[in-house]
Amino acid sequence: MNLAKPALDVGLFVDGDCNAVLDHWSQTVGVSFDELLPTGGGVRQHRHALGNSVIKINHSREALNPSPPSGYRELLIADAEVNSEADVTDPLGNVVTLVPPGDVKQLRLRVATPDVTELLYFYSHVLELEPVANSVVGCGDSQIEVVPGPRPTPSALRGNGFRYITIQVHDVVAEHRSILNRGGTEGTAPVRLGEVAYISFIKDPDGNWIEISQRKSLTGTLN
């Protein structure tokens, strides 16, 4: 893919009072608040910077329908202040682990599946992310690690917990079409969000959501 930035973003949802979640990510996990964006449908996105990546904490005004968790199971974050792994799981139960920098350069998202070979093929050939180690693919300093686990029940995009990743590209329409031609499954067709971004969603073979985004602040145009 023709990437607009060499990093992945990670999105999660929360309903009700989100203050404890926001405080945890800012103070305990240590990611810096960047900006607040309304995204429609009663959702406001609290964006937190982690190097070139963004942790998107989407706060829903309405209660989220119960939905099975996605296959995105654990987020590893490199932190020079820790000497060994530190569990900083958030109040929602999203598993977050701080690790000393090394194999993990910035962040690594673990996704569980009963068919590691199939999912690795999807991320390396359909999404065209770069293989960097056994069961690990990379997008700049961001990584996805495919680990053995039960197949997740196909879940809704909006539900508590980790729900999607975002890949920033220069031309969302062209990339969306190319991914489908390589065997990807469409989640939603490309749609323009005013003058902010042009986005679409695809799904991996286990039904996990992946946002393809053309953000004007990165690309300079939405044409």
Q: Is 82 helix (H, G, I), strand (E, B) or coil?
A: coil
State the pLDDT confidence band at 220, using cuts at 50, 70 and 90: confident
CB 182 within 8 A of CB 126: yes
State the pLDDT confidence band at 115, using cuts at 50, 70 and 90: very high
Phi and psi dihedrals of 20, rounded to 5?
-65, -35
Render pLDDT for 33-80 as a digit per residue (tens, 0 to 9). Answer: 999 988 888 999 999 999 999 999 999 999 998 888 899 999 999 999
DSSP single-letter state for residue 56: E
Amino acid at the residue 42: G
Q: Whole-model pTM?
A: 0.95
The reported pLDDT for the residue numbered 149 is 95
Output the six-digit token pair for 199: 């986005």
Tokens 């990165």, residue located: 218
In angstroms, what CA-CA distances link 218 with 45, 97, 150, 199, 215? Answer: 18, 29, 37, 13, 5
CA distance 122 to 175: 15
Residue 170 reports pLDDT greater than 80: yes
In angstroms, what CA-CA distances link 89 with 21, 77, 106, 138, 191? Answer: 10, 12, 17, 23, 33
The reported pLDDT for the residue numbered 59 is 96
CB 97 within 8 A of CB 85: yes
Render pLDDT for 125-160 as a digit per residue (tens, 0 to 9). Answer: 999 999 999 999 999 999 999 999 988 887 789 998
The b/e string for 53-70 (b: 16+ C-beta within 10 A; e otherwise) is bbbbbbbbeeebeebebb
The reported pLDDT for the residue numbered 151 is 84
